[in-house]
Structure 1
Amino acid sequence: MSAAAATWIAADWGTTHLRVWAMSDSGTVLAAAGSADGMGTLTRDGFAPALDALTADWPAVPVIACGMVGSRQGWTEAPYSAVPCPALASNLTLAGTRCHIIPGLKQASPADVMRGEETQIAGFLSLNPRWDGVICLPGTHTKWVHVSADEVVSFQTVMTGDLFAAITGHTVLRHSCTDGWDDAGFLQGVDDAIARPEKLAARLFSLRAEGLLNDLPNATARARLSGLLVGAELAATKPYWLGQQIAVIGAGTLAGLYVTALGAQAAPATQVNADRATLAGLTAAYRSWKDQT
């Protein structure tokens, strides 16, 4: 089969990239394409041309999109759905003539929001019916999501990825955490932070001091920094994952670190392919939209 047979297009439209898939009605991927036309690079009148350019050789069929395309700075703002609620809202927001955007989720207290992750959550639940537990979605802003009875009950966002990038790029540790990796160093950092999370700031500077005084390798320092930040995150989110069934949705290396860190705390987690979850969620949204039209 080719893209010419597509009946709809799935789109994952984030801040930095746009990814699209030509889809059959049954949810089979017929073709795929991508570009750097993320939300952050476009003005409001640039979204339709970016989509049309990327799918110029495909049929002009309905598009189901998730991600930052529906943010306040995106093509058209798709209002948040308030938790507790199903991961996928029944109402999609139309942008242009054919792009239907999936709403994100919001939480009043403590205040929190997500866009894009709700589609991965919905996809995971469609692939794992009647699953209850906690879903972790690692990234620049990692999400911890409590799911029960096919609803998102609550969630918490932790800026671990942003902190790692800021510390390694804009603090004195940029000299000590340049490259390389050390698995044992990562686990040591996780254990140290979980044992004494209040000492995080002090332990960060000790990485620099150990490099100067004891020749701590940069690879070990970098891995231990990551472990300290992930460990502090696990300490903060312990009420979510302790004693729960856990799924980690994300790209190989980063998601694998979370699985490793959780396993070291006797909290086994299952790693889930992010693209598969995204496509399953977009497919579920398309079927729901089609049933209403």
Structure 2
Amino acid sequence: MTNTLSPAWIAVDWGTSNLRAWAMGADGRVLAEAESDEGMGKLAPSDFEAALLRLITPWLAGTPPVLACGMVGSRQGWREAPYRAVPCTPLDRAALIAAPTTDPRLRVTIAPGLMQADPADVMRGEETQIAGALRLMPGYDGILCLPGTHSKWAHISAGEVVSFQTFMTGELFALLSTASVLRHGMQGSGWDEAAFDTAVTDALSRPERLGARLFSLRAQGLIAGLTPDAARARLSGLLIGMELAAARPYWLGQRVTLIGAEKLSTAYARALAAQGVTTGRLSVTDCTLAGLASLSPQHEATPQ
């Protein structure tokens, strides 16, 4: 961050909790990267410009355009970027929204998210990852699963997002393991693969029993010596299994590619493999940068 750079453009992924930025060369290489904990959830609309400047000022010598995605475009963000309705391409340069700035070096545009009317659903940030996945896998038709706090399953065909479904699996795990009665048996960060596998199978076969199975984690910790490692793995397996049961129309007999953090993607891949589904994997960062690159001036100038 101490050296002045002249990138061709700057990529920004601005989530609820964190802000990440990359200085990009004209050839698509990452020249530098930086991040902070100044996510959307900590900022008022008037705070976004200063937060971004604190991170990327050394990169602004040539006034490069800044392309941003994620919660920065939400109603509580820098400026709301209205959702685009599916079925549609994941990104559209014509739909970019300019953010209000006072520093003459800043030229910031925000990519909008996607919406689905029935069943009602929305995404912000994942559409950019999906666009990047389609650049990395030209002609891809199938399912993209994006595990996370709010996991997404998206049906992709002919370069468009046909439909998608969101599951609050990650948020439920966080709440149940840290703020419910189950927290007393969830200490540490260990793992038990056998316990995970059993819980996935249990939830897939009897999803209506989830509430009872969850409380049994507490009871088994009290009377049967269930270890924290096994409890955490079983909680994860129950929740992911519940998600897979509901998302079955997306993955059954389909080509599935995972876009997510390594540890979480491994858990989803393991759960799906038990159902006979072999999954591909892509990096979140690679997909985000490839998606934003499709909106960059360099991409616009490249013959298609």
Amino acid in the other structure paired with 2:46:
D
Work out whether 1:94 is the aligned partner of 2:98. yes
Q: 1:50 to 1:141 in 2, by over 3 A?
A: same
Could you list the runs of 5+ residues in structure 1 that have no partner in the other structure? none
CA distance in 2, matches of 1:254, 1:272: 12
Task: Report the equivalent of 1:41.
Answer: 42
3-state SS, counterpart of residue 294 of structure 2: helix
Q: CA deviation at 1:4?
A: 2.2
CA distance in 2, matches of 1:171, 1:5: 49
Amino acid in the other structure paired with 1:42:
L
Q: 1:141 to 1:169 in 2, by over 3 A?
A: same
Amino acid in the other structure paired with 1:250:
G
Work out whether 1:175 is the aligned partner of 2:184. yes
Q: TM-score, normalised by structure 2?
A: 0.93
Greater CA deviation, 58-67 or 140-149? Answer: 58-67
Counterpart of 1:281 (choices 288, 291, 301) is: 291
Greater CA deviation, 283-292 or 39-48? Answer: 283-292
3-state SS, counterpart of residue 186 of structure 2: coil
Q: CA deviation at 1:287?
A: 4.3
Counterpart of 1:126 (choices 108, 111, 135) is: 135
Task: Report the equivalent of 2:85.
Answer: 82
Q: CA deviation at 1:286?
A: 1.3
Amino acid in the other structure paired with 2:122:
V
CA distance in 1, matches of 2:28, 2:227: 48
Greater CA deviation, 170-179 or 256-265? Answer: 170-179
3-state SS, counterpart of residue 164 of structure 1: helix
Cα RMSD of the aligned pairs, angstroms, is: 1.5
Q: TM-score, normalised by structure 1?
A: 0.96
CA distance in 2, matches of 1:222, 1:196: 20
Q: Is the 8 A contact 1:85 1:153 kept in 2?
A: yes
Greater CA deviation, 55-64 or 243-252? Answer: 55-64
Counterpart of 2:171 (choices 162, 170, 178) is: 162
Task: Report the equivalent of 2:224.
Answer: 214
Q: Is the 8 A contact 2:68 2:108 kept in 1?
A: yes
Task: Report the equivalent of 2:161.
Answer: 152
Q: CA deviation at 1:58?
A: 1.0
Q: How does 1:1-293 map to 2 (within 5 A)?
A: 4-59=5-60, 60-90=63-93, 91-97=95-101, 98-179=107-188, 180-287=190-297, 290-291=300-301
Q: CA deviation at 1:3?
A: 5.9
Could you list the runs of 5+ residues in structure 2 that have no partner in the other structure? 102-106
